[in-house]
Structure 1
């Protein structure tokens, strides 16, 4: 039995399992440090809202390679942090890094948080840095997480604001469309009113969405950033001839040069800091 087939997932999350336990997860594991560096500007805001105390039990949903889980564990010095994700490869990296960094009170499990049998009221804080936007059935998922949050416990999420407010997404999507129509995409949890209604229906209260904007890092220079972005998004150029692909990459490099600073290549990004409490 493969590792993928051993993971119990809701049918609505089968596609996510295939992606994150497959090529998508492989890329994110390979580039884990760069992905973490990309959103590093949000770290202090995120953990300040989480308010993790020394004795807390923390659940990190969609933890990827576990940077936020390890950070949470370091704050919960007398407690613990559990990171869950669908990607076996990223979780393997997360475990290795936790061991190398000597973070003893952290653990990782490959599960679907939408259906996993977490202990009732088992966590004081549930966090997710851009990992809670992929559930096939969000209401069921957040109801499961609410059940696992103790009364008075906290939920803190980072989710993206609409694409039009995220310069990095709109720029790269337009460039890699290479003159073709740019497909419309509605990001889950990008509408604060819908998010507040969803979390309230799932069993959370005192839901609040705060707009946060931060610069997002893509590389130390044009060459470094271009290599990373093409590796991540270059598949969108499939079907184009060599000249069209080269033209698109040339446009990318020119745009990256316009965003070069003395600290690296940065684009604007906009997220929601979502906070809620279990009654």
Structure 2
């Protein structure tokens, strides 16, 4: 399983600072993955609580194991789609997502459902990716694997990690879903793909975008693509990890 926690460590710290979680808060983590944000929220909110929701069973199993290993008793996880999950109404005092809200098939319906789970006056704070051409991790890896022959990553709109890249679209979606006071802040932090180039290559090849770009190549073309990938990762190996530039939006909104 790809280690998103290590990849997003710098973004994670920026998000935690923006959340400003207080003791007693009830936190909802949308698209929680393996639960790093959920667990950190639970620690900060104690004696409050945190609930993480995600569609991935394997990720949630890892999240539960880690929460048990850390002795956290005020955290829980549920498998489901936040777009339609029957959350308790007006229960949570804070909603959060670390790159987990870009994949809704109907984002207005999804954020409206999340909004109903938040108490009046509660904040929703999320990180989403800016446009693909602002992501060095995307452009450099794409150039290596696709060899300049693909203009964008394959996949449906519902699978687009850049679906919320336009701040105007984000504001329109959240407003239509019933949120107010939408605020969008530029965040520029590097992402890490591994402690060295060899392990970064193994990590990248776990990603769907890499599998999709390699899927239609013959053996000879795939071999050249992997050689280019290795050269790209070597060039970004700082001796303290393999780092790529990235840009995100830190989006805040409030439930009226």
TM-score, length-scaled by structure 2: 0.93
User: 1:189 — aligned with what?
Assistant: 164
Structure 1 position 240 matched with structure 2 position 217: yes
In 2, Cα distance between equivalents of 1:206 and 1:263:
40
Structure 1 position 219 matched with structure 2 position 194: yes
Deviations 1:102-158 (A, max 9, x none): 111000111111111111111000000000111110000000111111111110000
1:78-157 to 2 correspondence within 5 Å? 78-157=47-126
* 1:162 aligns with one of 118, 124, 131: 131
Q: Is the 1:178–1:244 contact (alpha carbons within 8 Å) kept by the matching residues of 2?
A: no
Structure 1 position 265 matched with structure 2 position 242: yes
In 2, Cα distance between equivalents of 1:228 and 1:141:
31
Which structure carries more helix by proportion?
Answer: 1
User: 1:13 — aligned with what?
Assistant: none
RMSD: 1.4
Q: Which moved more, 1:168-177 or 1:74-83?
A: 168-177
Structure 1 position 58 matched with structure 2 position 35: no
Distance 1:263 1:91, change over 3 A: same
Structure 1 position 173 matched with structure 2 position 142: yes
Q: How many residues align?
A: 248
Runs of 4+ in structure 1 off by over 6 angstroms are none
Deviations 1:54-105 (A, max 9, x none): 1000000000111110010000011000000111111111111100111110
In 2, Cα distance between equivalents of 1:219 and 1:165:
21
Structure 2 unaligned blocks of 5 or more = 155-159
Q: Which moved more, 1:227-236 or 1:123-132?
A: 227-236
TM-score, length-scaled by structure 1: 0.85
User: 1:252 — aligned with what?
Assistant: 229
Deviations 1:197-228 (A, max 9, x none): 11111111110010101011011111111111
Residue 47 (structure 1) shift: 1.2
Structure 1 unaligned blocks of 5 or more = 1-29
